[in-house]
Structure 1
Amino acid sequence: MFASDHVLTPSQLNTLARDLLEGTFSQVLVEGEIGNLSRPASGHLYFTLKDARAQVRCALFKPKSQWLRFAPREGLRVQARGRLTLYEARGDYQLVLDTMEEAGEGALRQALEALKARLAKEGLFDAGRKRALPGFVRRLAVLTSPSGAVIRDITSVLRRRFPLLEVELLPVPVQGEGAAAQIKAMLQRADACGRYDAILLARGGGSLEDLWAFNDEALARAIAASTTPVVSAIGHETDFSLSDFAADLRAPTPSAAAELLVPDAAALSARLAGLQRQLLSLQANALRQRMQHLDRSFLRLHALRPQARLAMLAQRAAQARLRLDHVMQQCLERARGVLRHADATLRAHHPRQRLQRQRERLLALENRPQILMAQRLQRDAQHLRGLARSLHAISPLATVARGYAILQQDDGRVVRSVDDVAPGDAVRARLRDGELQLRVLEPRASE
């Protein structure tokens, strides 16, 4: 609160008023009639909600206006939910809306959701109980209004995609009092006659009240109980009814339902052409196999004729003659080889040849002692060199040459211990390049 003498600017006053409004009326639900509707290029909606005594400015901005399920218009009674705020630049307060729906739809939608939840709990909408559509629908029953654009759209799509389909219109009212009961009765008659491969429920778009006939509980149960597959195409893509949930297939629009029910004639023709090509290929392969079998049979019959048999025997005789000539040629070659070997053997055993070989052998024997003696001397020399290397490795002189000395007494004995000498004894040390005469002062053992 401000003191009475506290001075505010208009901006400050409007800011305080806005904070007060937004804090107090953060979420309100207002029902009234649309007036002064404006749609600028920005995509926002500006209008007033009014009753007999007052009005309030409203704004529904573009992101949220795109979710409206109806087209706002002058004089339409709606329920709007949003927050109350103040536009500070002009000092006008307004309602910024989050959602808006036609008046009366709120109660209808709550009733619809409650009924939908109850039927779903019973299993009426379970996928396991839904029937599959036949591969090719030959006769189709369409339950819709005979005067609307829906039946024209459906027949146009069916005629374009699959002209062979038989379509029968079963006229029913699609809105208003008593429409649900008439749709249910027509659906049950179409199912009971067993004439149709599928049943299509179709209706164009509209408000929740317009589509209410298709939210009837009895109609939903009749759809679920039908032995003939039922396709539901009610309203636009964003519209959902109990008929959609109970049906075996839900289509977003009536035209889409027509496309789902029948194949594309062009695609079917292409498939038939492919099957025809496959059949022709199989026939050609079968015919080719039969022709090959006939050719083999003809060759066997031809081989059994006397002339053919004589020709075959003559051919075998000629082949045997060729093999015999080949064998004889091989025998002649072997005989020539034996003769050449015998001639060489005889020449090798001639006296002159034997005498020559004996001379060569005698010369080899005469030179053999000298060769053996040279080889023996070479081996002995290698052995002596090895012994000399071994002796040198263990020789005391080799040790002395590495920097050590050998102590000897006068009589030539080697001094091996301090116990071998006494003080005053004369010894000599043999080094690498001479000897040293030494005298022992005092023997001392190592510690």
Structure 2
Amino acid sequence: MPTPAPPPVATREVWTPTALARLVHDLLEDALPPLWIEGEISNLSRPASGHLYFTLKDAAAQIRCAMFRPRSSSLRFRPGDGMRVLARARVSLYEARGDFQLIVESLEEAGTGALQRQFEELKARLGAEGLFDAAAKRALPRLPRRIGVITSPSGAAVRDVLSVLRRRYPLVEVDILPVPVQGKEAPPAIVAMLAAASRARRHDVLLLTRGGGSLEDLWAFNDEAVARAIRASAIAVVSAVGHETDFTIADFAADLRAPTPSAAAELLVPDRNDLARTLGHQRRRLDQLWQRRFDMRSQRLDHLLARLNSQRPQARLAHGEQRLHQLHARLVRSARHALERRHERLANLQRRLHLRAPATLLAQRHERLHLLARRLRGAQAQQLERAMARLGQLARALHAVSPLATLERGYAILLDGDSGRLVHSIAQVTPGQRLRARLADGELPLRVEPRPPVR
């Protein structure tokens, strides 16, 4: 058999460590984009150059990391061994030693530390905008008729709120406005519910609440959109999120922050026992005021009645009539005496004329005497008419103020049937008592009937 030909010798490609390291370096950086990685810092080193070198590890693996000075100088916290961090980094290879490593571009505290830093940054920014200013806070209604509770309908917070409201102020109406209070879907749902309640204007005040939890559990209430929706609400908002030591951005944006849901319910409504005491005090004060006013009016009525009795219009009218008769009699006597004196004077003149004057002169004097007599009688008649007119005026004035004139207008005066005393209050009469009603043209006998029962 012929001897087979030997196989051709393959050409071997030989790499240098530098070339291979360069190839791996390029493959890693081209294949893997920048990524986020979370782990625990160990072996942290801070050389004079300002760079940071450390290992990022978890329970099963570790990776070397480098963060160069331009990036490390802008950190807002001081990293340390054992600290859990979240890093944004590029996957690379340190060619000089062939070590796989991460080039860290940004670094922040992981978990609660990162969230707390975000909380402080958002709080400072919104505070600088004036979103938390005390001057923008609205006063809560003293006696709300309807409260909207924005919360999870299945949480413990809503049961606590309803229990306190029923105990303190059962008159208030409560609407549960259901929203998720945890997770990514919670902030947009809370914003939408706040906006809907604000447009409806159905409630006097809104309560945004949930029970306690970790910072991550409460993070929906640290959302910027939720804070701005609270301030944009046309209705005052009370925030009660978590326990007494928990603070959220919603607490600062709300018109009032309550330490717990139960405390919020106590702040929103008054205690019915306090209201009952206040109403009782106000009622007693009102009764006292009405009694005081009644006493004053009764005293004034008694005073006016005493003045009326003291003036005695009927007696004044009788006295005026008597005086008018006296004046008329005096006037008649005076006129008679004057006439008698004139007649006597006339007779004297006639005698003198008859003795001293001729017949013609006597006739003239006689005629003049007759003229004077007629003028005297006319003057007496005019004076009598003026006196009678004055008497009529006085009579009409006395009649206007007389109780009899009031009776002629349809009014009546009640008198006790036995004693004849004036009755001016229902407190003076009893069922079955006999009364007399004085009218303009007579009196009517009356009897007080028992008051019918109030239905």
Report the TM-score, using the length of structure 2 for normalisation: 0.46
Between structure 1 and structure 2, the one with the greater Rg is 1
Report the TM-score, using the length of structure 1 for normalisation: 0.47
